[in-house]
Structure 1
Amino acid sequence: MTRARTAMVLAAGYGARMRPLTDTLPKPLVKLAGRALVDHVLDRLAAAGVETAIVNVHYLPEQVEAHMQERSGRAPKTIISDERDVLLDTGGGAKKALPQLGPGPFFIHNSDSVWAEGAAAALPHMLRQWDATRMDCLLLLAPMSTSLGYHARGDFDMAPDGHLTRRGERQVVPFAFAGVSLCEAKLFDGAPDGPFSLNLLWDQALAKGRLYGLRLDGRWMHVGTPEALAEAEASFEHEGA
């Protein structure tokens, strides 16, 4: 099975939709089932064999840095990527961290993406499916029919072989991006400087037929608002996630 020894954890955003909880607390430190959201992420990465996680900071950075200090000695090792001066968005933040991430493959993981595992643990399943000869990027996708806290029209449709297509303007598609991707540094070849979204690189991979998806075997929880957080909390209590 492919190994991913490093990961990028995107923890720099403002978490505006989670206000008022995020007025004084960065969203990655909001608690779900007694643990900070980012701890759910880091523990899952460690269980998948990730040794080092790069965590970017911008909003209330001292709190995130202090939390990483409290985790000292626990896997994975964490390295702070400082974006205090300029918030670089998902793509720019990952590009800045490429020297620490290495050639890959590596995960890029939203700090608020949580789920209850199904029969196949998601991150090891992504590693088993990874094929650099066919893929520039592999996205974890959640079926909208079983997801909590997500009420939009979906992000992608997926062919039986995993090839992805984006939702059209008036379409409803069955899958939402679940906040985790797997790629290599070459995905960023020719990427712009400064802030930019990973969507830019995904669209380039789509145009080459090299963007793939993997269905999450579990229940994704889109923890975007205080109401969605309460819904996820109830799900954790019910399912023992």
Structure 2
Amino acid sequence: MKAMILAAGLGTRLRPLTDTMPKALIPIKDKPLLEYMIEKLKVAGFEEIIINIHHFGQQIIDFVQSKNCFGIRIEFSDERDNLLDTGGAIKKAACFFDDGKPFLIHNVDILSNIDLCELCEYHKKHAYLASLVVSHRKTSRYLLFDENNLLKGWINTKTGERRSPFTDFDPTQCTPLAFSGIHILHPDVFNYMNNFPEKFSIVDFYLSICNREKLYGYVPRNLQLIDVGKLDSLSQAEKTFLIL
């Protein structure tokens, strides 16, 4: 399988560190987040990776090239002129996923102990358009799944906002799960993206099609996950990363 690492974010919650470097190159135990991510993908058998870039994008290119592309095929999806959000980034990279096979999307700032091989094998055995890695992690915004772990809607527990394409949607009958930023997509997903603008959120996209396609919530066993998106999470990652 091929993979895409989403690494174009501005990393505003990691300032002042990201005033001079992209979030992808923030070090944990003296190694950049991006290096951890590429190494994890290589161990799982991914040898073709595309990375989207925006904020200090040339630094990412220079870093990857300095490592001789880690001995695999690595390409870049350049968003330096226009940051496209998560959905737009995937749509822009569509030509990279030209083999008709499912592909993995992974946020660069997510560290976890997830078994990517197990995730891939599970997805291959089922006829889902997408498998979204989710968990019972505490947050304010949840994806909502039915008894079969199929996506039905979304809720913001702070504001009470709810969204779903189902007319009979009842969030009290759903299980709230937090999205991890790790998901596997079938390339048929691009048929739906054709009608979307250049820039859009992948969560908004999923919510718009979950009444037409099976979008599965994959809950890994004993998942440990750190979202390295803000300064206090860096120290947490330093302390716990050895067990991930």
TM-score clears 0.5: yes
Structure 1 residues 92 and 209, CA gap change in structure 2 (3 angstroms): closer
Match of 2:201 among 197, 202, 205: 197
Separation (CA, whole Å) in 1 of partners of 2:72 and 2:133:
21
Using the alignment, how far apart are the partners of 1:225 and 1:60 within structure 2? 18
CA displacement at 1:43 relative to structure 2: 1.2
Q: Calculate percent identity across the aligned residue pairs.
A: 29
Separation in 1 of the partners of 2:7 and 2:188?
Answer: 23
How big is the alpha-carbon RMSD for the aligned residues of Structure 1 and Structure 2? 2.2
> Of 162, 181, 184, which aligns to 1:179?
181
1:43 corresponding residue in structure 2: 39
Counterpart of 2:13 in structure 1 is 17
Given the alignment, which residue of 149, 152, 173 partners 2:139? 152
Partners of 2:141 and 2:155 within 8 A in 1: no
1:110 aligns with 2:107: yes
TM-score normalised by structure 2 residue count: 0.83
Aligned length: 225
Structural mapping, 1:131-146, within 5 Å? 131=124, 134-144=127-137
Among 46, 61, 67, the residue aligned to 1:65: 61
Amino acid aligned to 2:191: D
Distance in 2, Cα, partners of 1:161 & 1:75: 40
Q: What is the rounded CA distance, in whole Å, between the counterparts of 1:207 and 1:132 in structure 2?
A: 21
Distance 2:50 2:124 in 1: 23
Partner of 2:236: 231
Please list the CA deviations of residues 97-131 of structure 1 after superposition, one character each: whole Å capped at 9, or x if unmatched.
Answer: 111122320011111111134xxx2x112112115
- Which secondary structure does the structure 1 equivalent of 2:86 belong to? helix
- Greater shift, 103-112 or 185-194, is seen at 185-194
Offset of residue 71 of structure 1: 2.3
- AA at the equivalent of 2:185: C
Question: Could you say what secondary structure the match of 1:95 adopts?
Answer: helix
CA-to-aligned-CA distance 1:137-184 (integer Å, 9 cap, x gap) = 11111331xxxxxx5234224445332333434479652111111012
Runs (5+) with no aligned partner, structure 1:
145-150
- Deviation, 1:26, is 0.3
Pairwise CA distance, 1:209: 4.8
Q: Quick check: 1:77 aligned with 2:77?
A: no
CA–CA distance in structure 1, aligned partners of residues 50 and 69 of structure 2: 15
TM-score by length of 1: 0.84
